[in-house]
Copies of this chain bind each other. A is one copy, B any other.
């Protein structure tokens, strides 16, 4: 299948996905270029569609500069790096990749949670440093049977709940609206934080949720509380979080996302009650391919005048 449209590939997609684009479209690989600004000016008149992965930004300026642009295929569920309002005003469709990454992100949430409770990284380091020859690794903390709270009960939240239930945990959640689920709903986040041992953040990023988890929420979570963030760094007030971890206001944190990625404050790295990951929530070969394929499928559908698989606007 060949479609005579010009696609600007803004990020380094998985190779198999790039091949799909190359086979179908005329591709313009700006991610490979050194002088990206110049390249964008050179090709701007031709571009019909964009394929992009976060954190690459698609600003109002970029949208303005591409007169023929009709669709932006975003890799990932969150599309906070794209100026959606501008896109909508310019009659540019935006798609994302929901569902195909639910399992993966949920697995990451469980891995982070168990790593924090059971001190997996410290225990491994203890063995590698041969300290086991001298003493036993200190006892850690039981996770099974604890109270687990989820902030944001969307598709990924449900996938997390499914897994955590199997650990005999008591699950509760907060989201804007109560869902038809057998988990306890808290209309107020602070009441959820007060009720649970673990607060797992999986609500979308963007302005509406910025610093939803603030100093007050961390205080309610309390000295035995653990926070897990696999959503967006912006949802948590990172400065307040570091302070809460330093002073024992909460017990620990497992973080896959940060406020200013890939920058992670030294203060956070130096803490011994955190597990930090470089935003690997969906980062497996299998899932990243499925996500890329969905970007491709959306753009193909658009140019074949078919229904989009996962429109955002």
Contact = CB atoms under 8 A, between A and B. Distances in A.
Interface of A: 14, 103-104, 106-108, 110-112, 114-115, 117-118, 120-121, 123-124, 126-128, 132-133, 136-137, 139-145, 162-163, 165-168, 261-264, 269, 275-278, 280, 283-288
A284 B142 CA distance: 6
A234 B127 CA distance: 19
Contact of A264 (B117, B132, B163, B280): B132
B128 A120 contact: no
Q: Is the interface of A mostly helix, strand, loop or mixed?
A: helix
B111 A118 contact: yes
Nearest to A140: B284
20 contacts: A103-B142, A107-B143, A110-B110, A110-B114, A120-B120, A120-B121, A120-B275, A121-B121, A123-B277, A123-B278, A123-B280, A124-B276, A124-B277, A137-B280, A139-B283, A139-B285, A141-B284, A163-B163, A163-B166, A165-B166
Contacts of A124: 121, 275-277
Given A107-B143, A133-B263, 7 more contacts: A110-B114, A120-B120, A127-B264, A127-B278, A137-B280, A141-B285, A163-B166
Count of this chain's copies in the oligomeric assembly:
2
Contact of A269 (B114, B118, B128, B288): B128
Contacts of A112: 120
A60 B262 CA distance: 60
Nearest to A255: B127
A124 B277 CA distance: 5
Given A107-B167, A111-B111, A132-B262, A278 B137 contact: yes
Nearest to A161: B166
Contacts of A278: 123, 126-127, 132, 136-137
A286 B141 contact: yes
Contacts of A283: 136-137, 139-140
**Which A-B residue pairs are the 6 nearest by beta carbons?**
A166-B166, A103-B144, A111-B114, A142-B286, A132-B262, A132-B278
Contacts of A165: 166
Contacts of A140: 280, 283-285
A140 to B, nearest CB: 5
Contacts of A286: 141-142
A106 B115 CA distance: 14
A108 B167 CA distance: 12
A144 B99 CA distance: 14
Nearest to A133: B262
A122 to B, nearest CB: 10
A111 B280 CA distance: 16
B111 A115 contact: yes
